[in-house]
Amino acid sequence: MPRYELGELFCGPGGIAYGAVTASIENPDYKIIHKWATDYDRDTCRTYTNNICPNRLKSVYCKDVRDLDMAGLAEIDALAFGFPCNDFSVVGERKGINGVYGPLYSYGIKALEIFRPLWFLAENVGGLRNADDGRTFIKILDDMRKAGYVVVPHLYKFEEYGVPQSRHRIIIIGTRQDLNITYRVPSPKPYSSVNNTCRNAIENPPIPYYATNHEFTRQSETVIQRLSYIKPGENAFTANLPPELQLHVKGARMSQIYKRLDPDKPAYTVTGSGGGGTHIYHWSEPRALTNRERARLQTFPDDYVFCGSKESVRKQIGMAVPCLGARIIFEAVLRSFAGISYDYTEPNINE
């Protein structure tokens, strides 16, 4: 079955989906097509629907997964679920599987048991490996195996795959045990010569002033003054700031606070939450990036329109999986099923 109908839980604004539907390999018969998706956030669902399936509005269910009648969803051949990372992220409280969001991965397991898809992709932050001293990660993998899948977890460093952003995520690919399909982690070597600097991503080609989601933040005079002392690659704590512009926030020496991009390197990780000082700052202009610039760092095309308020859009972009990274992984999945060889590397979950 070379055309795989994909269902998504926790679909977000469509980074995974866009990577899936644009995945293309040497055998054009092998494709991934959208079947259904679900997320609890209304703006996110509008963004996903408008860009991924504008002619199939009812295929996106805006509902908390805990209230979803999963058994009533259409049959699928493949499943993707980027289960919420709040309890596993190094930025959060790291409550792991005992937090509010930690147990939500179990709905992905439930979907595997109900639909028995041929393969699945699960995504989470790198901190998942260490939550609860690693016990959470072991349990999640065990539950996936018990559901009948061979699993290949790997810590993907997306900047190694041409993405203009240092973003590390655990991606687990599972293939159904009875299929005898071997998935291998695609090698980053073919992308070693890609110009993935943040300058190239943001400036080439220039973003039209009329582009959607390209509203500029009105920076305060204090922020403008502070940024004038911060060099590319520096943050509010490493720069030589005068006393009146220094930050005195206890326990908040996170490196992204008022950090300017280094134009000759990939961006640091785009995030979806956080207050002032965490919005990613231009290397030369005294301002935060626009959402469209942030979307470019996440490899969304310029005609991908995000719905909702400026802050809602910022959150959606920061929570997404880079489209390019997702596409590369999906193409490796398709090649595995098509029997087409490709460059691969050994799976690794360590930094």
Query: Is 62 marked active-site?
Result: no
Q: Are 123 and 154 in contact (CB under 8 A)?
A: no
Q: b/e string for 134-163 if b means 16 or more Cβ within 10 A?
A: eebbeebbebbeebebbbbbbbbbbbbbbb
Q: Which of 45, 53, 85, 198 is catalytic?
A: 85
What CA–CA distance (Å, rounded) separates 224 from 231? Answer: 13
Q: Which two tokens stand for residue 275?
A: 């207050």
Q: b/e string for 320-346 if b means 16 or more Cβ within 10 A?
A: bbbbbbbbbbbbbbbbbbeeeeeebee
Peptide bond into 205 cis (omega under 30): yes
| Strand 185-186 relative to strand 344-345, pairing | antiparallel
E strand or H helix at 57, and its extent? none
Q: Are 299 and 163 in contact (CB under 8 A)?
A: yes
Q: How far apart are the first and last CA of the chain?
A: 36
What CA–CA distance (Å, rounded) separates 156 from 168? Answer: 6
Radius of gyration of the chain (CA): 20
What CA–CA distance (Å, rounded) separates 64 from 62? Answer: 7
Task: Tell me which DSSP letter residue 143 carries.
Answer: H
- Helix ranges (DSSP H) in 197-258: 198-203, 221-229
Active site positions, annotated: 85
